Amino acid sequence: MTTRDDQRAATYRRIVDVAVESLVESGFAATTTVEVQRRAGLSRGALLHHFPTKEQLFTAAVHRLVEFHLEAMREELAAAPPDTDPVARGVWVLRRASRRPSFGAELELWGAARTDERLRTALRSAERGALAELHAVIDAIFGPEIAARPGYPIVVDLTVQLMRGLAISASLQERVREEEPLIDHWADIVRGLLAADTVRPDS
Amino acid sequence: MTTRDDQRAATYRRIVDVAVESLVESGFAATTTVEVQRRAGLSRGALLHHFPTKEQLFTAAVHRLVEFHLEAMREELAAAPPDTDPVARGVWVLRRASRRPSFGAELELWGAARTDERLRTALRSAERGALAELHAVIDAIFGPEIAARPGYPIVVDLTVQLMRGLAISASLQERVREEEPLIDHWADIVRGLLAADTVRPDS
DNA sequence: GTTTTCACCGTCAGCTCTGACGGTGAAAAC
DNA sequence: GTTTTCACCGTCAGAGCTGACGGTGAAAAC
């Protein structure tokens, strides 16, 4: 039997879940309160009972979406075969995670947040909260040995930005490229950067 | 004296210009037909005379926005002091161009295009049309000597994706970082990649 | 000089979205 | 057993957006 508190929590969670689902599947613009209410199979009143304003709903959804992506990274890590070269493996895990539709939704929100102050506030709060976990996951993806190398922080920064660039460019590609020699190239470069004692080869 | 054809062309151009202006300043969601009409100081009828549907307006605006970014890259190239190290100079020119608000608007559209098929079609067409010019501008930014090196195509690809990643991440930063050691690091890495005869140091 | 074209005008219908509001019935408190 | 709380309901007003439509006056065609 469900108590009232349980019911409340369950409905709340379901609303946030379908809001995230809508953001991922239908995008930011199409994720209206009516759409969320429809997906959740709730009345208008029920939705507004839990989230009096759209902003509150989106704030919760954005936080959940960021958690969602962390989870996706852990999944990709778990799914990756552990026997390959660790650098290439790490780079590819990050690449696969960045190809998830949920990450596309996240980047779409970052783009929209450029001119949407409320959304920007919500996003910053969500990303700030997940930052430590994000770094922990990335360290786990590359493993402790690689994470200890001197050039590692810069490599992670560059790799993350690169993955974001590739992800936001995805809409432009006519067809999805399964083969991505660029990623292999990048893995080779990273291997070189982490092998050298210093990150700056000349200068 | 303006003939009717001139008038038509001038109004058409003005509408597209203010549409781009609105996309850059106010973002995708806020760029409604009413907003464009208001910015252009035109009546509803005038706007609909030139652009019967919002889609046609956006298609024209998207094409113009892409041209706009090419122009911005040329400006940054012209504004960059020519006496520095050519690799660092090229990387920084690309970085400065990617920090322009117009590029932010472009990336926002790429994000929205993920779930908006019409927008995606317009964007692909615009980017396809500008591709050759884009590569020409980038070659000019790095100069013919660097562009001839064997690793150059991959370096350009990686650099472009990196800049996109940094640009889409811009909304998240609490304050604008004027100093960007990451870019200098990247320039150093690029210098190393272009110095070597092969791009793949080991393997 | 008459007719036609057309760049531009203003209003309006139809739609969707947001959030307000007054219920309702069952669980929880007393 | 009575009262209170509250999760959920359905309707509606207000606002904004898109695109249709019937003008209007001046340039262009004849």
User: Mind giving me the DSSP string for B53-64?
Assistant: SHHHHHHHHHHH
pLDDT for B203 equals 42
Question: Do B21 and B38 contact (CB within 8 A), yes or no?
Answer: no
Mean of pLDDT values over A165-173: 96
What percent of chain B is modeled with pLDDT above 70?
A: 95
Mean of pLDDT values over B11-22: 96
pLDDT for B84 equals 78
- Quick one: pLDDT band at residue B178, thresholds 50, 70, 90? confident
Mean of pLDDT values over A172-187: 91
What percent of chain A is modeled with pLDDT above 90?
A: 86
- Express each pLDDT in B140-168 by its tens digit: 999 999 999 999 999 999 999 999 999 99
- Quick one: pLDDT band at residue B199, thresholds 50, 70, 90? very low
Question: Do A111 and B168 contact (CB within 8 A), yes or no?
Answer: yes
Q: Mean pLDDT, chain B, as a whole number?
A: 93
Q: Is A158 on the interface with B (CB under 8 A)?
A: yes
- Name the 3-class secondary structure at B30: coil
Q: Which residue is nearest to nucleotide D22 (CA to C1')?
A: B45
By C-alpha distance, the chain B residue nearest A183 is B158
pLDDT for B201 equals 46
User: At residue A26, does pLDDT exceed 80?
Assistant: yes
Q: The dihedral of CA B28, B34, B39, B42: what is its sign?
A: positive
By C-alpha distance, the chain A residue nearest B88 is A203
Using CB atoms, pick whichever of A26, A112, A199 lies closest to residue B108.
Answer: A112
- Quick one: pLDDT band at residue A158, thresholds 50, 70, 90? very high
Contacts of B176 (CB under 8 A, 6+ apart): none
User: At residue B198, does pLDDT exceed 60?
Assistant: no
Q: Is A191 on the interface with B (CB under 8 A)?
A: yes
pLDDT for B202 equals 46
Contacts of B174 (CB under 8 A, 6+ apart): A124
User: At residue B8, does pLDDT exceed 80?
Assistant: yes
pLDDT for B105 equals 98
pLDDT for A86 equals 94
The helix (run of H) or strand (run of E) holding residue A27 is none
- Express each pLDDT in A94-103 by its tens digit: 999 999 999 9
Which of these, A25, A165, A20, A24, lies nearest to A102 by C-alpha position?
Answer: A24
User: At residue A202, does pLDDT exceed 50?
Assistant: no
- Quick one: pLDDT band at residue A200, thresholds 50, 70, 90? very low
Using CB atoms, pick whichever of B107, B185, B193 lies closest to residue A111.
Answer: B107
Which residue is it, tokens 């973002």?
B27
Residues B191/B80/B182/A166 CA torsion (nearest 10 deg) = -80
Q: In angstroms, rounded to a whole number, what is the distance separating the alpha carbons of residues B25 and B42? A: 19
Q: Which residues of B47-76 are buried (b: 16+ CB within 10 A; e: fewer)?
A: beebbeebeebbbbbbbbbbebbeebbbeb
Q: Is B160 on the interface with A (CB under 8 A)?
A: yes
pTM of the complete model beyond 0.85: yes
